[in-house]
Amino acid sequence: MPKNVLEEIKQEVKSFVGQEVLVKANRGRRKDMKKEGILEKIHSNVFVVKIDDHDQIRRLSFSYADLLTDNVELKTKEEEIEIGMG
């Protein structure tokens, strides 16, 4: 039975919950977003990154499929380990 790649990515992301991460997201039409935050929680289809953006706390959610398709890159802040690259 083949392994579910999205489930593997989810398990890897789960192991980094609570750590500081760097997020780079492709928002289309040459719009890239680069932010630092804390990998706050995971859910069945998405994970949440808490970002302190100019004295305002924001939470951004991304799907595990975003990591698989390289629409989102997620790295640990300290060691810059890539998370969820399948």
CATH number at residue 33: 2.30.30.100
Give the per-residue pLDDT at 63.
94
Q: Is residue 68 part of a domain?
A: yes
Alpha helices in the chain (DSSP H): 5-14, 64-68
67 assigned to some structural domain? yes
How high is the pLDDT of residue 3?
66
Whether 20 maps to a domain, the answer reads yes
The number of distinct structural domains making up the chain is 1
Question: Model pTM?
Answer: 0.85
Assigned domain for 86 exists: no
Q: Check the CA dihedral 73-76-81-85 and report its sign.
A: negative
Which domain does 16 fall in, by range? Answer: 5-76
Q: Is residue 15 part of a domain?
A: yes
What pLDDT, in 10s, does the model give residues 54-85? 889 999 999 999 999 889 999 998 888 898 86
* Average pLDDT over every residue of 24-46: 91
pLDDT at 47 over 60: yes
Q: With respect to residue 42, please indicate whether it lies within any of the assigned structural domains.
A: yes
